[in-house]
C-alpha cells in the first residue's frame, strides 16, 4: 500500500514578482549545475564565468560584437513570438531566414548599380516579403488541411537550405573563386552602413521591439491573435475571421525572420551562403520562450544569450575550452526555466489532516 505524503494542485494565480523570483532561482541553479560540470572537467568555474564576461564586455570591440550577435536574435525572436502567441509552432525560422536572405540577395547581386538608399530599402522589403511568403506556405497547409505546422515548417528548413546550396554550387557561384563553391561578396552599395560602430540593424531591431509590443498589446489584430491562441472557438464566437487572422500572423512571423536574414547577409556576412542561419532560428525559439512571449523582455533575453555566445567564443581561444560550453549553459538555463514553470502553475501541498501548504 502506497501512502502519498504530497500532492500537486493547480494554482489559482501567481504574482509577477513570484514568477520573476522562480526564474532567477532557475537561472542560478543552471549556473551551479554547469559549474559542477566544469569542475568535473578540471576547470575553475568562476574563472570560466569571469572569462565569458570578459569576452563579452572586455573591450569596445567585444561589446560591439555582442550587440551584433544580439540584433538577428532579437528580430528572429520577435517573428517567432507572433506565431507562438497564436499557438502556431513555427519551427521554420531557419528556412525563413535563408529565403529572406535569398530574396534580398537577388537584388544585391543584380542591381548593385542602384543608389544605395534605394537598393538597401528594396533588399529589406524583398527579405521581409520573401520570409513572409515562405512562412505562409506552412500557414496555408495548416488552415486548409490542418497539417502539423511543427512538421511542415521544420521540413521547409531543409528545402530552403538545399536551395541556397544549389545556388552556391551552381547559378550564383562566384566565377572568380577558383572553383571554390561560394557566392561573390555583396557590392559596397548593398552593405548596410554603421552607426556608432555597429551596423544600423540595431536601430531596426529596437524599432521592431516597440512596434511588435504595440501591435500585440494595443491593436485589434494583436488581440485577435492572442484570442485565437487561447481558443479558436472563442475567436469564432467573437466574430474573428480565424483563417485570415492566422495567415496574417504567420506571414508576419516569417517576414520578420526573413528580414533578419537579409540584414545578417548584408551587414555581417556581406555574402549569401548556406551558413547564413547557422542555428539562429533554433536559438530564437529558446529566447522567445524564456521571454514569455513578451517583446521588451525578448530584447533582454536575447542580449543575455548573445553575451553567452560571445563569451563562449572567447573562452575557446583564451582558455582552450570548447565554445560548446556556452551552448550547454544555454540548454541548462532553458531546462531549469521550463522546470520552474511547474511551480508557476502548480503548488505542492502536504497531505495531512490540516492540508498545510508547503511553501
DSSP state of 266: I
Instruction: Note the helical H segments in 41-110.
Output: 45-57, 60-85, 93-110
105-163 pLDDT per residue, tens: 999 999 999 999 999 999 999 999 999 999 999 999 999 998 999 999 999 999 999 99
Question: What is the Cα–Cα distance from 243 to 249, expressed in whole angstroms?
Answer: 10
71-91 pLDDT per residue, tens: 999 999 999 999 999 999 999
- Residue 23 half-sphere exposure toward CB, CA atoms < 13 A: 13
Sequence-ordered list of residues with C-beta below 8 angstroms from that of 158, at least 6 positions apart, any chain: 95
33-74 pLDDT per residue, tens: 888 988 988 888 898 889 889 988 988 999 999 999 999 999
Is residue 338 pLDDT above 90, yes or no? no
Mean model confidence pLDDT for the chain? 89
Specify the pLDDT at position 356.
47
Amino acid at each position: 500500500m502506497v501512502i502519498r505524503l504530497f500532492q500537486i494542485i493547480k494554482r489559482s494565480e501567481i504574482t509577477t514578482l513570484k514568477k520573476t523570483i522562480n526564474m532567477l532561482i532557475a537561472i542560478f541553479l543552471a549556473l551551479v549545475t554547469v559549474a559542477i560540470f566544469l569542475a568535473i572537467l578540471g576547470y575553475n568555474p568562476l574563472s570560466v564565468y569571469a572569462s565569458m564576461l570578459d569576452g563579452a564586455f572586455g573591450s569596445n570591440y567585444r561589446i560591439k560584437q555582442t550587440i551584433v550577435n544580439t540584433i538577428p536574435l532579437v528580430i528572429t525572436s520577435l517573428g517567432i513570438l507572433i506565431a507562438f502567441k497564436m499557438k502556431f509552432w513555427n519551427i521554420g525560422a531557419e528556412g525563413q531566414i535563408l529565403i529572406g536572405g535569398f530574396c534580398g540577395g537577388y537584388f544585391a547581386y543584380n542591381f548593385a548599380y542602384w543608389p544605395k538608399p534605394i537598393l538597401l530599402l528594396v533588399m529589406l522589403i524583398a527579405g521581409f516579403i520573401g520570409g513572409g511568403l515562405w512562412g505562409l506556405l506552412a500557414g496555408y497547409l495548416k488552415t486548409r488541411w490542418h497539417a502539423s505546422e511543427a512538421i511542415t515548417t521544420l521540413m521547409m528548413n531543409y528545402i530552403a537550405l538545399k536551395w541556397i546550396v544549389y545556388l552556391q554550387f551552381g547559378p550564383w557561384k562566384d566565377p572568380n573563386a577558383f572553383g571554390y563553391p561560394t557566392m561573390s561578396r555583396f557590392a559596397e552599395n548593398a552593405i548596410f552602413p554603421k552607426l556608432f560602430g555597429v551596423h544600423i540593424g540595431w536601430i531596426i531591431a529596437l524599432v521592431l521591439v516597440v512596434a511588435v509590443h504595440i501591435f500585440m498589446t494595443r491593436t485589434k489584430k494583436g488581440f485577435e491573435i492572442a484570442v485565437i491562441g487561447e481558443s479558436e472557438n472563442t475567436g469564432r464566437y467573437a466574430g474573428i475571421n480565424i483563417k485570415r487572422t492566422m495567415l496574417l500572423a504567420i506571414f508576419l512571423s516569417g517576414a520578420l525572420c526573413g528580414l533578419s536574414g537579409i540584414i545578417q547577409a548584408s551587414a555581417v556576412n556581406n555574402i549569401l551562403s548556406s551558413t547564413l542561419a547557422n542555428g539562429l532560428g533554433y536559438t530564437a525559439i529558446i529566447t522567445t520562450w524564456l521571454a514569455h512571449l513578451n517583446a521588451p523582455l525578448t530584447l533582454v533575453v536575447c542580449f543575455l544569450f548573445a553575451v553567452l555566445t560571445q563569451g563562449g567564443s572567447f573562452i575557446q581561444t583564451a582558455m582552450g575550452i570548447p565554445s560548446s560550453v556556452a551552448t550547454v549553459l544555454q540548454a541548462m538555463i532553458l531546462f531549469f526555466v521550463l522546470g520552474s514553470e511547474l511551480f508557476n502553475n502548480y503548488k505542492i501541498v502536504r497531505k495531512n489532516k490540516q492540508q498545510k501548504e508547503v511553501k
